[in-house]
Amino acid sequence: MCHEGGCGICMVEAKLYEPISDSMKSYPINSCLCPLFMCDGLEITTIEGVNDVIPKRLAKYNGSQCGYCSPAQVMNMHALLDFNKGSVSMKEVEDAFDDVICRCTGYRPILDAMKSFAVDSSQNNKSTATDIEELGKMFCHKTGQRCHGKCHPEMGQQLQVIGADAVWYRPMTLDQLFKIISDNPGKKVRFVFGNTGSGVYKSDLDLANFDILMDLRGIKELYGIDFDPTVVLGAGLSITQLIDIFTRTKLETSFGYFTQIRNMLQRVATTSVRSLGCWAGNLMLKHLHPEFQSDIYVSLEAANVGLMIVDKTGSNQVPIGQFLKTDMTNKVIVAMLLPSMSDDYFIRMYKVAQRAENSHSFVNAGIRMKIDKSNKFVVKEKPCIVFSGISKDFVHAVQTENYLLGKELSDVKVIQGAMTTLASELNPDPDIDSVEPSVGYRKNVAMGFLYTYFLEVLGDTVGSKFRSGAIPLQRPLSSGQQSYDTKPMEWPLTEPLMKLEAMNQTTGKAQYINDIPLHKPLYAAFVTSTVGNAKLQSMDASKALSMPGVLKFITAKDIPGTNNCYPPLDPTFMVEEVLCSGDVMYAGQALGIIVADDEDIANRATEQVLVTYSDQKPPIISIEDGIREKSFFPKPGDVVKVGDAETAIANSPKKITGSISFGAQQHFQMETQISICTPTEDGMDVEASTQWIDLTQQSTAMVLGLPESSINVKVKRLGGAYGSKITRNLNVSAGCAIAAQIMKRPVKLNMEFHTNFKMLGRRPSYRADYNVGCSNDGMLNGIKIQIYGDLGYLPNDNSLPGIAPWMDNAYFCANWKLTPVAVKTNKPMNTACRAPGSTPAIFMMESIMENVAKELNLDPTSFRTLNLYKKGQKTPLGNTLNYCNIRQLVPELMSSSDYKSRAATVQAFNQANRWKKKGLSVVPIKFGISYAGVHYNAIVNIYAGDGSISIAHGGIESGQGINTKVSQVCAYELGVPMDLIKVKANTTLANANDVTTGGSITSELCCLAVINCCQDLKTRMAPVKAKMKNPSWKDLAQKCIEDKVDLSSRYCVFQPGTDDIHYNSYGVTCTEVEFDVLTGQHLINRVDILYDCGESMNPMIDVGQVEGAFVMGLGYWLTESVKFASTTGQLLTRSTWEYKPPMAKDIPIDFKIQLLKNAPNPVGVLRSKAVGEPPLCMSCSALFALKRCVEAARQDIQKDTFFPLDGPATVDRLQELCLVDPSQFVI
């Protein structure tokens, strides 16, 4: 998907040369980084080549929701087991799962499934051992016989492949390599080993930029391993193999520092990137880009290694300290030499990154000193203090190194002197990278690393309160517990069943839109703008059209219908152009469409269209910009007034004023937007990644100038959505349809990953300014809020009106005033993202509660509990809470989570430790569910021949398990086995006039539609059944047709109930975190969630929804930062290098989910409640738990005043709020 090795979706298994055993062994690799010619002689296994042992386990554990990442998860595990011959530990499994992003599950079920194979797992039993034995038994798809690997070619031969633009060579010796270079003077040569650097610096390292591509993998001289008398490790060793060597090698203490290097290497990139890339290639990347924060370079510099470098004249040993200044033209690193060191050397490596794994360093450090611990910790020789992430030219802290020589580290004045010296020479470059943290943060962290080093060296001589600064955060194995009700008498209803599609997804058999086979299709790609707030002056596509395979460049004037892809559902909606006709509103806006006979060519050709602009103005890219420029949309939504908030606040003894801001969030659905359009004799067939087929149908009809009945839209499943595919597929499908209509051929438009980020909107950012009045004891009297929402350049997907229903969260207040303000910015139109109105509303309210509690000097949890709703009270929208159990849920969770004793433990920990802190936070939720304006239909067909059943319903399966729940309900209502039931694709023929899938209500309302269909069918069939004696289902179906009974039923659910809130879901979350004050890094030690989802139709699916939503929320609040360039408005965080959704080690270590038992919903469909969105809203508890940590750190320096913690609370923001100053670095 990403073509960077960052998402892991393209994972395959490759047998690569492993020099320790001198054999080919299995490794996971990213196929997107592996050029085809490199595969010559390799054995590559894809999901089609493995049996169903691992897929079955993953499916059984509910480790597949949308399923788009599932084959990659399977391949990752298959390679791990194959490499280790089936014997792995649970820790090895967790460490290996750092390379495939899953947006759906929250990772817990994936990890549980894979850890069940481990030798130390309680789930490992005789059947597991048998399953592992079966892993290697694969069958050839050609012969149908057991595969013995005999048809795979052998590596070991020189290779030359002549392409259209470059020649690919694979020399087998260094002599051959240098001869090829000599034979090609003046040619641009690139050495290729793992090609992983192209995922970071694609423009520099794109293979298309070079004349000669030199594959180094066949040169055995690069794989040397020697320990006698000097440790020499070949440049061809992958990072994974280097880790393996440092792990398995048991050497004398003179090489004890290997452990430090290994620990650092394990945090480099991902398992799959480490498997393919070599350490020498990483150094060359640092040589090419000195600003690159290479963990490997810093580690090897600290270890004082030597590099053996060769060219055609011979070899030369270069100290690594001279490497960056060495001319490497036509030279190759062949090995590193690692010195032995006496045990008075103390070597440490440090790193801080945005998330726990699969994340580049913001700052890293390597420090080596020779210290006499018996003599006041004297530094006996000039130290080595190396940093990366400060500036491209800063490597050694030379002045600090010189200062420390001969000094006694036990002297506090020396520590302060070192800090002063380091501060004077650390001058971080503010422009090192536009998305990197602030200068202040990088400087503070770098100084903190040296301080941490001193604390480690000094050990027990350091004051007990400060020792925690030397102890790294250690993440133990994660685990989870799930508790829920099920009623066997009602099965399959309430049964915790595996998703119907799970096995097809985990085995790779599930077909997504990009998998649909096409006959001679064409491929389309958007040309997008590079600036915002300008006029489109001209476009010259001649260079693109001259590329082989490029067929057409389409502009706005070529559109056969209307240049508007957004149907006018509301008179206030504005035109959304498919292609820009003049006003360039944002960087990334679609300007034209390239059509080619190859997808890669189409994407490359978009970069060759020359675009010029005029009247360019500074873009408005923030809410603050919009306020300053008075850039607002009219009619942002109604002002909500309840009682008299101003008077209530004015008359209150306590008045609090504040502001809170929180940023945008990418949907990061694993399947980017895609559409396939095929012209037909009467219109257009459209396969689209849409959550709303009717809107896609209307949009396509508009741009083609055809009636809606001529457009046939079909969706089988989506590879994730989260709101991104409600309206943001409209432009994509419209553009694809225009291209297909013009070319009169099938066209696929598969949005390139980075273009998907740039062109399409995301969750909006917000700012809330508030005034609150309350009593002296903390009872809320009045709340006044002005909330600003960044809608982008169009207001059509305005989420501000959706905030009001949730603005109170779980708290009663008699007087409210909410004023929405819609800010117009030069960004894509922002859109719905999972829990679009409730997420900002609840965080806004919880932030207010935090502020008021602090000002009143009240415990935040006690203050929240004091103001919780009671049964019978009215919400601001006038709904009476006839059912309200939040005052029961909060104490129940606090009891089950042992909150009181844990809070005391946390307090004691914080008092005892200056540099590590812990925090606890409790966040409740009242989540209103409304059915206003919705309609979903379903068709149930019973086939008379065998009694099997098909269902077509109005919802789109996107991982939420809607098809499974619908089937369970159908089986329950008709009294038939579930294996008789098949759920068909959603189409505009069978499911016309439905609304979008979303809002957490689609599953239950489609189930309601199916219930009505089934009841209708049972009514029709009852007279026939009454005439028969205990008929089988099949016989009954056949007899019904004989008696002219229609066995097809269609029903449409139109807004059950009124426009009011139909019911409320309630829940409460308790989160505990541990925090490093010096870096801002943290662990989520434990999360307890108690959630009332009524009587769950399928507890396994609903638990998965709780976990997945919560972890997506963790990303929003903690790691996912969206940044734009101030001069052009370009999105800066548009790749996996910069944008960081949670990975498996970002989830709670102890993840406990309880679905409230014995809590049927009297007004719900089959007594159930919604579950897809509410848990995300409670994930802000992690942010507030971290706020407790920052408060504890500020208490230590007597600066315990209120501060707002804006979202996302990234590591740099958290650390800077701790107000750490080097003067505090005492021992």
Binding residues for FAD, as ranges, are: 351
Which backbone phi and psi does 530 adopt, to 5 degrees?
A: -105, -5
List, in sequence order, every residue forming a beta bridge with 1064; answer none if it has no partner. Answer: 928
DSSP state of 836: T
Which backbone phi and psi does 283 adopt, to 5 degrees?
A: -65, -40
Is the separation of the CB atoms in 913 and 1195 below 8 Å? no
Residue type, 454: F
The full DSSP string for 782-796 is EEEEEEEEEEET--T
Residue type, 537: Q
Q: Which two tokens stand for residue 897?
A: 């989570």
DSSP state of 605: H
Distance (Å) of CA 321 to CA 287, 324, 395? 12, 7, 9
What is the C-alpha separation between 561 and 571, in angstroms, rounded?
Answer: 20
Binding site feature residues for Mo-molybdopterin: 691, 834, 999
Is the separation of the CB atoms in 400 and 425 below 8 Å? yes
DSSP state of 692: -
Q: Which two tokens stand for residue 930?
A: 């409304």
Q: Annotated catalytic, 1216? A: no
Distance (Å) of CA 1150 to CA 133, 237, 239, 1084, 1088? 31, 36, 31, 8, 8
Q: Which of 732, 600, 747, 712 is nearest to 672 (CA)?
A: 732
Q: Which two tokens stand for residue 802?
A: 């959706």
Please name the residues in contact with 313: beta carbons below 8 A apart, sequence gap of 6 or more.
Answer: none
The 10 Å CB-count burial string (b at 16+, else e) for 584-622 is bbbbbbbbbbbbbeebebbbbbbebbebebeeeeebbbb
User: Which of these is catalytic: 221, 1173, 1191, 1216?
Assistant: 1173
Distance (Å) of CA 1056 to CA 244, 1013, 1065, 1095, 1161? 61, 16, 17, 19, 15
Distance (Å) of CA 586 to CA 522, 528, 762, 847? 28, 10, 14, 32
Start-to-end CA distance of the chain, whole Å, equals 49
The full DSSP string for 93-121 is HHHH-SS---SSS-SHHHHHHHHTTSTT-
What is the C-alpha separation between 268 and 349, in angstroms, rounded?
Answer: 13
Residue type, 536: L
Number of other residues whose CB lies within 10 A of the CB of residue 546: 10
Indicate the SS3 state at residue 559: coil
What is the C-alpha separation between 576 and 592, in angstroms, rounded?
Answer: 14
3-class SS letters over 318-352: EEHHHHCCCCCCCCEEEEEEECCCCCCEEEEEEEE
Please name the residues in contact with 476: beta carbons below 8 A apart, sequence gap of 6 or more.
Answer: 1149
What is the C-alpha separation between 579 and 599, in angstroms, rounded?
Answer: 20
Pairing verdict, β 711-715 and 986-987: antiparallel
The full DSSP string for 489-549 is GGTTTT--PPPTTHHHHHTT-SPPGGG---SS-EEEEEEE-S-SSEEEEEEE-HHHHTSTT
What is the C-alpha separation between 7 and 9, in angstroms, rounded?
Answer: 6
- Residues serving a catalytic function are 1173
